[in-house]
Amino acid sequence: MTLTLAALALALQAPADAPDLVSLSVLKAGDEACAVFDDAERALLDAAIARGLDDAVLAGSDPEALEAALARQTIVPRCNDARLANLARDHRARIEGLATYTELSFQGRARTWIVDRRPARTNTQPRWRVSQRTAAGDAIFGVAELGEDLQLVLAFNSETPFASAVIVARDQDRQPYPVDFTAGGLLDPPGRDGASAWGPSTGMTQRFLATDRLSAEAAATLAPASGFEARGFVFAPESLAALAQLTPREGVAIELRNRAGDVASQIWFEVGALQAALAMQAVRLIEIEDEPTLSTP
């Protein structure tokens, strides 16, 4: 079964029916005080809050003022509070509504994260578990199953070999919020790529150098179909953790460098619903029996 939905809804319901930011913040405060959720449930709650904040900022709210106002309105509930119990129940029900699907598609503003939730296989054939394609469809970035490991991978096709790859993302310790490079839509985003509309100011970045190359066999399986040679790079787990903490609206660049260390090509991806996609990958798949079908003689 497959399903496409917005990350904020996190359920089989219209976004308008999703909990408001204050309710989500109360639920988060209750979880912090009473340990209501497991890691995946909490990550999905954080993803819903991040998306709600993102939508408000894109609608014109100042992010710092919005977070301050939200903090003032959030009251930490008692652990036996009925409202907390109801909010937690509804949150789990939304997650359970998704947990029966083997494939989920989390739509961002410029890109989509695809989540493959099928059980792990016994063979060693590589496959994507959480992935996003470039606008041109010539590269895929995300979490891939390589043997028994899940690794952050970039796979692409290129006539030219590259010596290294570097992820360039906003450093949250140096710049708390991303910049709108389009000035509210008046300018084209960098590289004319929608995923790069929001990002870090010059010098406010953190960089993650690829730790290894994909094997030729893995690259051939994971890269998009093309007449060029399949290539790819593997990145350290801490880079994925850093990306998941960024705002949904911002982009992340991957620089492909030549032997001299110069940037020979640049690829853009969108953070989008990465946090929700990773969390749903960790939620246990609920298997349901197929409805019986009528056979004809």
pLDDT at site 268? 96
Residue 79 is classified by DSSP as T
Helix and strand numbers, DSSP H then E, in the chain: 7, 14
Cα(47)–Cα(91) distance, rounded to whole angstroms? Answer: 12
Position with higher pLDDT, 297 vs 248? 248
Please, are residues 66 and 252 in contact by the beta-carbon 8 Å criterion?
no
Mean pLDDT in residue range 268-283:
95
Residue 237 carries which side chain, given as an amino acid letter?
P
Helix (H) or strand (E) holding 130: strand 127-133
Residue ranges of the domains in the chain? 2-98, 110-282
Cα(99)–Cα(107) distance, rounded to whole angstroms? Answer: 17
3-class secondary structure, 137: coil
pTM, entire model: 0.88
- Residue 90 pLDDT greater than 80, yes or no: yes
pLDDT at site 265? 94
Position with higher pLDDT, 296 vs 195? 195
235: β partners: 152
Cα(3)–Cα(46) distance, rounded to whole angstroms? Answer: 21
Helix 21-34 with 82-98: angle, nearest 10 deg: 100
- C-alpha pair distances (Å), 207 with each of 4, 81, 191, 216, 255: 32, 44, 19, 25, 10
Cα(46)–Cα(74) distance, rounded to whole angstroms? Answer: 15
Long-range Cβ contacts of 62-68 (<8 Å, 24+ apart): 63/177, 64/176, 64/177
